[in-house]
Amino acid sequence: MLPDPMTPIRFGRLLLTGAAGNLGRELRPRLRRYCDTLRLSHRRDFGPAEPGEEIVLAHLENKAAMLALLEGVDAVVHMGGVSTEQPWQPILESNIVGAYNLYEAARHHRVWRIVFASSNHVTGFYRQDQVISPRDPARPDGLYGLSKAFGEDLAQLYFDRFGIETVSLRIGSSYAEPKDRRMLATWLSFDDLERLVVAALTAPVVGHSVIYGISDNATTWWDNTPARHVGYRPQDSSDTFRAAVEARQPRIDLDDPAARYQGGAFVRTGPFEDQA
Amino acid sequence: MLPDPMTPIRFGRLLLTGAAGNLGRELRPRLRRYCDTLRLSHRRDFGPAEPGEEIVLAHLENKAAMLALLEGVDAVVHMGGVSTEQPWQPILESNIVGAYNLYEAARHHRVWRIVFASSNHVTGFYRQDQVISPRDPARPDGLYGLSKAFGEDLAQLYFDRFGIETVSLRIGSSYAEPKDRRMLATWLSFDDLERLVVAALTAPVVGHSVIYGISDNATTWWDNTPARHVGYRPQDSSDTFRAAVEARQPRIDLDDPAARYQGGAFVRTGPFEDQA
Amino acid sequence: MLPDPMTPIRFGRLLLTGAAGNLGRELRPRLRRYCDTLRLSHRRDFGPAEPGEEIVLAHLENKAAMLALLEGVDAVVHMGGVSTEQPWQPILESNIVGAYNLYEAARHHRVWRIVFASSNHVTGFYRQDQVISPRDPARPDGLYGLSKAFGEDLAQLYFDRFGIETVSLRIGSSYAEPKDRRMLATWLSFDDLERLVVAALTAPVVGHSVIYGISDNATTWWDNTPARHVGYRPQDSSDTFRAAVEARQPRIDLDDPAARYQGGAFVRTGPFEDQA
Amino acid sequence: MLPDPMTPIRFGRLLLTGAAGNLGRELRPRLRRYCDTLRLSHRRDFGPAEPGEEIVLAHLENKAAMLALLEGVDAVVHMGGVSTEQPWQPILESNIVGAYNLYEAARHHRVWRIVFASSNHVTGFYRQDQVISPRDPARPDGLYGLSKAFGEDLAQLYFDRFGIETVSLRIGSSYAEPKDRRMLATWLSFDDLERLVVAALTAPVVGHSVIYGISDNATTWWDNTPARHVGYRPQDSSDTFRAAVEARQPRIDLDDPAARYQGGAFVRTGPFEDQA
Amino acid sequence: MLPDPMTPIRFGRLLLTGAAGNLGRELRPRLRRYCDTLRLSHRRDFGPAEPGEEIVLAHLENKAAMLALLEGVDAVVHMGGVSTEQPWQPILESNIVGAYNLYEAARHHRVWRIVFASSNHVTGFYRQDQVISPRDPARPDGLYGLSKAFGEDLAQLYFDRFGIETVSLRIGSSYAEPKDRRMLATWLSFDDLERLVVAALTAPVVGHSVIYGISDNATTWWDNTPARHVGYRPQDSSDTFRAAVEARQPRIDLDDPAARYQGGAFVRTGPFEDQA
Amino acid sequence: MLPDPMTPIRFGRLLLTGAAGNLGRELRPRLRRYCDTLRLSHRRDFGPAEPGEEIVLAHLENKAAMLALLEGVDAVVHMGGVSTEQPWQPILESNIVGAYNLYEAARHHRVWRIVFASSNHVTGFYRQDQVISPRDPARPDGLYGLSKAFGEDLAQLYFDRFGIETVSLRIGSSYAEPKDRRMLATWLSFDDLERLVVAALTAPVVGHSVIYGISDNATTWWDNTPARHVGYRPQDSSDTFRAAVEARQPRIDLDDPAARYQGGAFVRTGPFEDQA
């Protein structure tokens, strides 16, 4: 958690979806400071609410449940849905139908700001020696990345047509620390994740903005210049962990596509059906 | 039909989906010249096959049917699916699940070339005084355009990962003649549609290419320079019809969003549910 | 005059300023076909009105006169003002104060479309081996070009703020035929001038658009791609005159700045005061 | 004032116009360290000269006075002229005629370097979710911004034609501290203003360069990369004030154009004459 | 030969190197019309001079011979040197040392215009589904393309430093007709070659310009927009030959790098020494 | 030497060419920490090997010697060759033939990573008020810069064709401290040189990357954004030396081309033969 909150701007009721997921669990205690009530949602039960929280379980693909979930909400941090490469059916339900249900509910209830957990896998098929920006065309590396590209286009539509503002966070690798050499480029610390989410929630004008979620790493493939209006300034860096990570993984096999493309192992694993 | 076919390159079996739709009916007699067998598909029965044709009915959202449909096929001209702004459910089934089923079937049967009927509505929320190129970010104007943006990203994924090549045709307005002043910019004659589809089928290397489908109109919002490798050269022009169209529609109300945005009326109509 | 008018769209009352200038005299009989009444204006008397015309003399720097001039007008073709390099005072009065008066009058009378005769001298200090587009920064070659850059920025302001639409025509060299080798690049035939003005008047949506006014010359320094929405398609070309022009001017002295820069002689002549 | 001057390079006589204005008063004691004599100018009397200073009163629209003002000057920091949205006449006199007089005087006296106080209002009609650079086209938000766009084009002309170098500073909001949330993006501390002016005065080669004047704020709309040759490195940041500013202005009404556009309130206030 | 010469501008003495090569033989009778004396050069004897010609044999790597060759010359059309993929030694001698000798001789004799036969193989490693322009970075496909990239950089240096102007022609495939499907994109007719060389010789200002040498083919990988100031307008097209060429080569094996990259077979053949 | 090595990744045998040159002598003790054996090479004898070193003398233009030199090598830091403006013959031999020999040897011995000391003089003819990136076209300022442009194109070829990866370092001015005002922009500290070389050696995927070698200087002409994947983060800055350098060189004569162009004095000195 940040020792010194970047902004005191508070929301009345803030919704965090995917509250029991990896990042949801990190954000849950952090976001409580930015709202009167933190509504938490997940697919499955994850225990009781803490003070200042309320819990509403919902399946993303359930339209009525989503409509109920967004009632009375001021803004949404949408971390819910499938967050790894999985078969088409769950991705379709949670990330495509689910995203549509979320935006329809936001439109119905006039929720004007959504922070959408997109993913670097939207552009995972660029090479690791390319530096791209949020304006470069999507090159998803699997069904998961494809579904996140869909979510971003959906967010653009709901802004252009209905004025609902979204910041799509193309999150890199958000873990306690970088686990391998790819993450030296893609790592997002939990504190920087909080900074990013809060900046995305409170920036005065965002339309639909796309920003990569990374800490201040020396190595990067992503140029966030077009998103500087969001006001995100990372304060952590994978550089601290570089020596240890390189020692653990001194060699990289460039014949492996996972080593050449930004998406890493996502470019070669996955649920395509007649693959073993 | 073109009096002088641009290329004699023939396919063994060519699949035309959406064969009974508006553009499918135009393409059906034209494509016969480029293949030994033209397999025709549609959602519903549309009569008997002509010589050189075979008919296989299939619903796009039916995965097994799609697998069967692509068996033995050399290339696909995918005109099938919803082609207007409609409610979410049919768009989801035909254009999202359906597109996925098509590409999975192509991967299974090793079909290497797909011509995908995308739409100018992928970028319908650009203004009519902007000239954009296929590299500019998507700004869909409705659920239909959103589903076509999904289809393009899917095509990119199947090329990057499996080598299946696609030309996504962002078709403007393909009718016998331009009907209103917007179509002076967006019109694609049927002969030029044939030229475009044939170029897309026979260009030696396309990866995943995106190209706007328009005739050689004096007014245009779309710069196809990045797609000149496809080899499409329009030979018709809306200019021939300009005087008549302008006489029929001498005034345009710029307060109507349909007049300001490239997507025309799509930007303000549609199936969003609690709209009347 | 065009044998076959490109568009029959008519205006009620169309105002042509600078009606007795070089280009005004060419446009006067041509524009009559596009309106019920052609209001003609100039600084000094230039004879009687023809049928379908009305004449209102006005000095551009006279605000009240300009207010009167635009009353009842549907659209303006603004060819008035200083059109050569001259001392600061007349340029200030006609092209700066005058342009401001024109747009204020348009705002007052709710005139929604202005075709503004800007000039290639807005970018005259680019080299003749550079191909630029309307989006490149201004590099005026003298006070005249500077005043036209002002006029374009003014037009942008009145669109962004008040919705008044303008097409700024950066006219090259509009003469009966090209007079020297520079004009092989910059020539605009009178028929193409008419086509350009009419396209600018009748294009449905222009915001503030900038377009270079040139015929279809083989040699050009200006890429009009960003203005293709205007619908201007030149049909003449300086190529017809190339052999004759080159025979008359077989050698070019590259030590002369006039030979190196797009603005030609404008880059070295002019009224700067302690020169001569 | 900077405790540690960034550069000791001194000028013989440095002219500061607008010396009694808001920023002029800040710069006056700071610039004294960079010259033998600081000539101060303003429209109206503002008291006596301090040691190392000399005072020459002048109206910008008075050509003879401007000629006298620049005599013997090595470089100019031009902070003079109208600096807020005002009626046309004073803007015309001070910022258009005045800027012309200044550059003519510089040409006459062979003054080779001018630091020109331009304004972010040159591009005030871009949205607050756009990140632009000095190369993007002008979109002034009022007459003031328009006059500053004129000044920049004038500076470009005098460099291309006469070799007079200028750095145009598109100053954001230079105050003791940021006053509202817009200024979290646009704030320029007084110390950073000094750094910027000194860098602009002493950079070896600038031609005509345009640079936005902002501190190192986390939120920004302006990418100064094309101006990094100027050597300006801000050391202050609005981030320090963020919490306090957000607490004072917790809500922003996006229906107000002032909230959506970079120019803030300038986009909707102003002296247009038949407005009340 | 062109029935109707595009320009009558004549040179006193024009030098054509590589006069006995494939393109030299085509240009020899054509260039005679543009000069009083056509000096022809080649490495080996190729018969006697015709009227209006003079022959000077020279090896490009022989500095003294090159100095003699350029004496009294007004302009050079440099078609000499190795024009296919060959071992390093001949490429080094003819295309690297030879190009240096040529430009040094031009500098010595104050020859101000060189038309340099570069090659599309300077960028042969771009894919055939990419449309590039002369501003994109070099990606040579072999030693030949590498030597031509060197020649272009040399030409740039001699312009920037000494003012010698060059047009580098990145010639596609100049033959009587296109031989295979790659040449549908790269073909340059002999008449268009003449048009291109004459435009490059006579354009008033070229600095160092790079232009691709292709006819007006429907399929192309090269966007010559940045070189439109050269004034080259092709009048032939590979489209005429398309049906015949496609009939001869109905299938393309995309597993062959020669089919995927713009350089064609050059990308996989060549003289690298321990290959064979 | 860096007190705290950025990466512990070690090579078995690392080759440093030009080991007795200015930068070679700096790198020699620094690189020892990153390998088991540091093979050192130079043209002439430079004394005995230290522990962990081996010395192999070789002339770059000697192909057999270069083949022997690269045997058993894991990666190369190529600082060898001519590093100042010199006559054509030594540049040809060392930097053109020598670079070819180096890459042929690397190909033969399957060496997959080369760090190539290129130079800012590849782009020395850009003006000092332009900020360029590694993607802008080469504008060498002399024969030395030309030879380095050749080396970069060669590296691109050997990556595209053979997969040998290179980082081309366009080194600015690497000295103990900046010597003049130009070096305030171009300075690279020795510690940052080490950081840059080590990043270039150990970045997982580089293809052929080009990066400018500069410290974190406030003034810069080079935007390394496209090379951020290399992971180079400078920690020194010329700013520390600015006051002292400016005091030593308070005036700059802009009439001297060396003051206007990025290449400095290289743009006007050199070995062109009939110059004195």
Q: What is the pLDDT of residues C81-132, one digit of tens each?
A: 999 999 999 999 999 999 999 999 999 999 999 999 999 999 999 999 999 9
Cβ contacts of A251 within 8 Å, gap of 6 or more:
none
Residue B269 pLDDT: 83
Instruction: Label residue D5 by pLDDT band (50, 70, 90).
Output: very low
* Average pLDDT for chain F: 94
CB contact under 8 A, F204 and A221: no
Share of chain D above pLDDT 70, in %: 95
Question: Under a CB-based contact definition with an 8 Å cutoff, are residues F145 and F121 in contact?
Answer: yes
Residue D250 pLDDT: 87
Two structure tokens written together for F245: 């350098």
Residue E271 pLDDT: 67
Cβ contacts of E258 within 8 Å, gap of 6 or more:
E264, E265, E266, E267, E268
Listed residue (B78, B154, B67, B153) closest to B110, CA to CA: B67
Listed residue (E194, E199, E221) closest to E209, CA to CA: E199
CATH number of E11-268: 3.40.50.720
- Contacts of D among chains (3+ CB pairs under 8 A): A, C, F
Q: Which residues of C183-216 are buried (b: 16+ CB within 10 A; e: fewer)?
A: bbbbbbbbbbbbbbbbbbbbbbbbbbbbbbbbbb
Provide the ipTM. 0.95
Tell me the three state secondary structure of residue F224.
coil
Residue E118 CA to residue E200 CA, distance in Å, equals 13
Q: Considering CB atoms only, which of B112, B209, B232 is closest to E129?
A: B209
Residue C274 pLDDT: 52
F155 CA: distance to closest CA in chain E (Å): 10
Residue E216 CA to residue E119 CA, distance in Å, equals 17
Average pLDDT over residues F129-142: 98
pLDDT tens readout for residues D215-262 = 999 999 999 999 999 999 999 999 999 999 999 998 888 888 899 999
Residue type, B209: S
pLDDT at C1 over 60: no
Residue C142 pLDDT: 97
Cβ contacts of C23 within 8 Å, gap of 6 or more:
C79, C83, C117, C171, C174, C193
pLDDT tens readout for residues C223-246 = 999 999 999 999 999 999 999 999
Map tokens 């290419």 to a residue: B209
Can you state the angle between helices B63-70 and B98-109, rounded to 10 degrees?
40
Instruction: Label residue B101 by pLDDT band (50, 70, 90).
Output: very high
Question: Under a CB-based contact definition with an 8 Å cutoff, are residues B210 and C254 in contact?
Answer: no
Which residues in chain E show pLDDT less than 70? 1-8, 271, 273-276
Specify whether A144 is catalytic.
yes
F162 interaction partners in chain A (CB closer than 8 Å): none
Question: Under a CB-based contact definition with an 8 Å cutoff, are residues C262 and C124 in contact?
Answer: yes
Listed residue (B198, B200, B244, B194) closest to B215, CA to CA: B194
Tell me the three state secondary structure of residue D213.
strand
Residue type, B78: H
Question: Under a CB-based contact definition with an 8 Å cutoff, are residues D12 and D74 in contact?
Answer: yes
Q: Considering CB atoms only, which of D182, D219, D260 is closest to A231?
A: D219
Residue D7 pLDDT: 43
Share of chain C above pLDDT 90, in %: 91
Residue C88 CA to residue C144 CA, distance in Å, equals 9
A232 interaction partners in chain D (CB closer than 8 Å): 218
pLDDT at B4 over 50: no
pLDDT at B8 over 80: no
Residue B21 pLDDT: 97
Q: Which residues of F33-55 are buried (b: 16+ CB within 10 A; e: fewer)?
A: bbbebbbbbbbeebeeeeeebeb
Q: Considering CB atoms only, which of B129, B131, B243 is closest to C205?
A: B129
pLDDT at B12 over 90: yes
E6 CA: distance to closest CA in chain C (Å): 7
pLDDT tens readout for residues C29-39 = 999 999 999 99
Tell me the three state secondary structure of residue F189.
coil
Residue B99 CA to residue B102 CA, distance in Å, equals 5
Q: Considering CB atoms only, which of E220, E239, E252 is closest to B204?
A: E252
B5 interaction partners in chain E (CB closer than 8 Å): 243
What pTM did the predictor assign?
0.96
How many other CB atoms are there within 10 angstroms of residue C256's CB atom?
13
pLDDT tens readout for residues B217-267 = 999 999 999 999 999 999 999 999 999 999 999 888 888 889 999 999 999
Question: Under a CB-based contact definition with an 8 Å cutoff, are residues A49 and A40 in contact?
Answer: yes
Question: Under a CB-based contact definition with an 8 Å cutoff, are residues F127 and F169 in contact?
Answer: no
Residue C271 pLDDT: 67
Residue type, F266: F
CB contact under 8 A, A259 and F207: no
Average pLDDT over residues D100-113: 97
Map tokens 């320009």 to a residue: E7
State the count of interchain CB pairs (< 8 A) between C and E.
Answer: 60
CB contact under 8 A, C218 and E226: no
Residues of D with a Cβ under 8 Å from any F Cβ are: 5-10, 112, 199, 202-207, 209, 225-233
Give Cα separations from C128 to C124, C259, E230, F261 (angstroms). 9, 8, 9, 21
Question: Under a CB-based contact definition with an 8 Å cutoff, are residues A45 and A21 in contact?
Answer: no
Q: Burial level of B45, CB count in 10 A (0-12/13-18/19+)?
A: exposed
Two structure tokens written together for C235: 């049909």
pLDDT at C17 over 90: yes
The residue of chain D with its CA nearest to that of A200 is D219
Residue F145 CA to residue F270 CA, distance in Å, equals 11
Residue D270 pLDDT: 72
Helix (H) / strand (E) element for A16: namely strand A11-17
pLDDT tens readout for residues D128-172 = 999 999 999 999 999 999 999 999 999 999 999 999 999 999 999
CB contact under 8 A, A203 and D223: no
E76 CA: distance to closest CA in chain C (Å): 17
Question: Under a CB-based contact definition with an 8 Å cutoff, are residues F196 and F233 in contact?
Answer: no
Share of chain F above pLDDT 90, in %: 91
Cβ contacts of D121 within 8 Å, gap of 6 or more:
D85, D140, D141, D142, D144, D145, D148, D263, D266
Residue A6 pLDDT: 38
State the count of interchain CB pairs (< 8 A) between C and D.
Answer: 82
The residue of chain A with its CA nearest to that of F233 is A218
Which residues in chain A show pLDDT less than 50? 4-8, 275-276
Residue F262 pLDDT: 98
Instruction: Point out the catalytic residue in the list A34, A144, A158, A261.
Output: A144
DSSP per residue over E32-82, as a string?
GGGEEEEEE--SS---PPPTTEEE----TT-HHHHHHHTTT-SEEEE--S-
Give Cα separations from C260 to B237, C184, C268 (angstroms). 38, 14, 11
pLDDT tens readout for residues D169-227 = 999 999 999 999 999 999 999 999 999 999 999 999 999 999 999 999 999 999 999 99
Cβ contacts of B49 within 8 Å, gap of 6 or more:
B40, B55
Q: Which residues of D184-195 are buried (b: 16+ CB within 10 A; e: fewer)?
A: bbbbbbbbbbbb
Task: Count Cα neighbours of D188 within 13 Å in the Cβ-side half-sphere.
Answer: 23
